[in-house]
Amino acid sequence: MAITLETSPCSILSLEEYIEYIDRFVDVRDFESIVESGHQLARLALNQGLVQNALNDAVRGFLDKTQRLAYTPQSFIFGRTRDCYIRGNIWPKTQIDDSKRSREAELYSYLMSHNHSFDFVTCGYFGPGYTTRILEVDPDLITGDLDEFVELNFLEETTLPIGKVMIYRAYRDVHTQFPPPELSISLNLMCLNGHDLNAEQYFFNEQTGRIIGYPKEGLVSRRAKLVELASLIGNDETFEILIDIAVKDNNIRTRREAINGIATGRPDLMENLYAKLGVRPDHQTKLLLSHIDLLLES
């Protein structure tokens, strides 16, 4: 299950010292080193000028046009190492107005059960913290289709107050976050390259146990959207690349977008694609776009 780390930080760590520690001692392929790093994140969270200084520098750089702001409405980046990045996440309480509350729930992923394709460490930094319900799924039993049923096992419901450190396991830990009673901020260490970058992240319906979508900010979703865009505006070289993706890529959703893009944008290339995949579709399969699943089975 997601790990709650008992910490007793007695000294403050600067951002530079924290980044140096992560660069030297954290191996994203070694989960124990990720867990152990939580003690250092707790020390960083004692640095109460961290967020204010980062925001001041970003706004100052934005105003004098020397840098661009590296943040979304929810997140801002403190720094990076080769395999990780350090970010702050803002968790506002929701608005009273129903329409604004619905929009904020989507923007901040409130009430949306989801997993992640990477391990990460999080620590409460400011405010009372959000409430989160944590479940577990066996990723080896997931095919990844929309509306697929998966078994979600409840683990715990907890909060992330100041100083609390938690470590979430890639793929297995599913969490649903609820708005905090007051504005809160968490610090996160995101460990990116320890797992298969072709692996999916999912949104789940906790009540039905079914997959209901894919996070738009996930790497696979961004790649699939790029493939779709390329098929709409690409040239001959683009479609050669799409054929390679359709034949060789490890992710089924990216392959599906490539095959669909070729079939709709350059149907004259489908015979070439059939040949590369070693399949002989019948006439009906060619006319209907059902050849996509046929090709994906090859």
For the chain, give the DSSP string: -PEEEP----S---HHHHHHHHHHH--TT-HHHHHHTHHHHHHHTT-TTHHHHHHHHHHHHHHTTSS---B-SSEEEEEE-SSEEEEEEEEPPPPSSHHHHHHHHHHTTBT-EE--SSEEEEEEEESS--EEEEEE--GGG----TT-B---EEEEEEE--BT-EEEE-TTTEEEEEE--SS-EEEEEEEE-SSS-TT----EEETTTTEEEE--TTSHHHHHHHHHHHHHHH--HHHHHHHHHHHHH-S-HHHHHHHHHHHHHH-GGGHHHHHHHHT----HHHHHSTTHHHHHHT-
Q: What is the mean pLDDT of residues 111-136?
A: 95
pLDDT digits (tens, 9 = 90+) for 186-224: 999 999 877 666 778 999 999 999 999 998 777 788 888
pLDDT of residue 242: 94
The Cα–Cα gap between 76 and 163 comes to: 19
pLDDT confidence band for 284 (50 / 70 / 90): very low
**pTM of structure:** 0.81
User: What pLDDT shows up at residue 209?
Assistant: 96
Q: Which tens digit of pLDDT belongs to each residue from 169-180?
A: 999 999 999 999
Q: What are the CB-based long-range contacts (under 8 Å, 24+) for 230-239?
A: 230/261, 231/257, 231/258, 231/260, 231/261, 231/262, 231/264, 231/265, 232/261, 232/265, 234/265, 239/265, 239/266, 239/269
The predicted structure's pLDDT at residue 275: 85
Q: Round to whole Å and give the CA distance between 227 and 239.
A: 10
Most confident of the ranges 33-37, 93-97, 233-237? 33-37
pLDDT at 69: 46
| Residue pair 249/258 in contact by the 8 Å Cβ criterion | yes
Residue 289: predicted pLDDT = 45
pLDDT band at 102 (very low <50, low <70, confident <90, very high): low
Chain-centroid distance, C-alpha 155? 21
From CA 251, how far away is CA 139, in angstroms rounded? 15
Nearest Cα residue to 225 out of 212, 217, 249, 235:
217
- What pLDDT is stored for residue 276 in this prediction? 86
Residue 293 pLDDT > 60: no
Mean pLDDT (the chain, rounded) = 86
What residue ranges define each of the domains in the chain, with the CATH number in brackets?
Answer: 3-213 (2.60.120.10), 219-296 (no CATH)
Query: What confidence tens digit (pLDDT) does each residue in 132-179 have?
Result: 999 999 999 998 888 999 999 999 999 999 999 999 999 999 999 999
Per-residue pLDDT, 277: 80
Contact in structure between 67 and 55 (CB atoms under 8 Å)? no
Average pLDDT over residues 21-32: 96
Largest CA distance in the chain: 72
pLDDT on residue 200: 85
